[in-house]
Amino acid sequence: MSARHLTEIKPSIRVAHHYRFPNERNGSESGRIGYCYAFHLVSGGKGTVTVPSGSFPVAKGDLLYFPPTMKHAFHSDALSPLSTYNIYCDLWQANPEAAQRHLVWKDADFDTSLLTVIVPNDELDSLPSLLHLQHQSPITDLFVRVVEKYQSDASYSGAIAKSLLHAWLLEIVQFNHHAPFVDFRIKPLLDAINKNAGSYETWLQMSRLKKTQFHQLFKQATGMSPKAYWTSVVMKQAAAALRESNRSVTDIAEDFGYSSIHHFSKQFTLYFGIAPSQYRNRQRS
């Protein structure tokens, strides 16, 4: 089959969800084989992934890519189980016949009739099994958005998910070709920010850079202004607190430096499209 350009893809999602890998299933996860294109964005926990070329540890913010038929395995940590956002998709056929079957766990169970159409494409073929996206919020946020839209029952959500997936694929290929340069003074700062958001003034002081240079290098590394990046980090940390604790929205807002719950709620709603209390209820329903 002749090669085709990535702009010609017709994405169709077989499955998209968030999944936690229980360590007791490590044995049964050792021989996964996919029928379609699979992308996994690590959202938490610790673990190891094995592909034909070897094994490697993965952490939050890592993106895993497995083309059809590639054998792979997940090994989840017992104390901190691995969790990922997952998209299994067809790329070259708009309406695949086998929409829900996406992988098997044994060679003997593999049914070739369920295999997606595979088309040569230099850009997809050059994607590595692992990409580090820890400081690429626009790309990771879009991936999560695809999953959320796919799972939504609202009008047009399926069509929106397909369109967003197409855009995301172009973004990830572009990133792979032109990975941003991260200055040695910015990288440790980004690592620290993702653990504790802190404040703009603290970031500037830690970088020991002039304000103009700091902004330039920061945006070069993340694709975002410091203010936008701060908002992204804080909102994600606040969302995690809402999911994982029973503390009040007011207390969580104060933890992140908001003197007014109304300001926090407004910013959270603008970022996630839903109020903090509704977000918590939806995550637990």
Domains defined for the chain, CATH in brackets:
6-177 (2.60.120.10), 187-284 (1.10.10.60)
pLDDT digits (tens, 9 = 90+) for 234-249: 888 888 888 888 889 9
- Backbone φ and ψ of 197, nearest 5°: -55, -40
> Out of 1-10, 51-60, 138-147, 204-213, which region has the weakest mean confidence (pLDDT)?
1-10
Q: What dihedral do alpha carbons 16, 273, 169, 62 form, nearest 10°?
A: -70
Higher per-residue confidence, 16 vs 245:
16
pLDDT at position 256: 84
**Sign of torsion over alpha carbons 124, 130, 135, 139:** positive
Q: Which amino acid is at 192?
A: A
Q: In the predicted model, is pLDDT for residue 19 greater than 80?
A: yes
In the structure, what pLDDT confidence band is assigned to residue 257 with cuts at 50, 70 and 90? confident
- Return the ∠ at Cα 164 (arms to 21 and 62), rounded to 5°: 35
Is the pTM for the entire model greater than 0.85?
no
pLDDT digits (tens, 9 = 90+) for 29-42: 778 999 999 999 99
Q: Which residues contact 46 (CB under 8 A, 6 or more apart)?
A: 57, 58, 59, 76, 77, 79, 80, 82
For residue 75, give every residue at least 6 positions away whose Cβ sits within 8 Å of its Cβ, in sequence order, or none: 23, 26, 29, 47, 48, 49, 50
d(CA 80, CA 44): 8
Considering only residues 192 and 275, tell me which one the structure prediction assigns the higher pLDDT.
275
Residue 255 CA to residue 259 CA, distance in Å, equals 10
Mean pLDDT value across residues 182-188: 75
pLDDT over 80 at 155, yes or no: yes
pLDDT digits (tens, 9 = 90+) for 260-284: 889 999 999 988 888 899 888 877 6
- Residue 173: per-residue pLDDT: 92
CB-based contact 88:161 (threshold 8 Å) = no
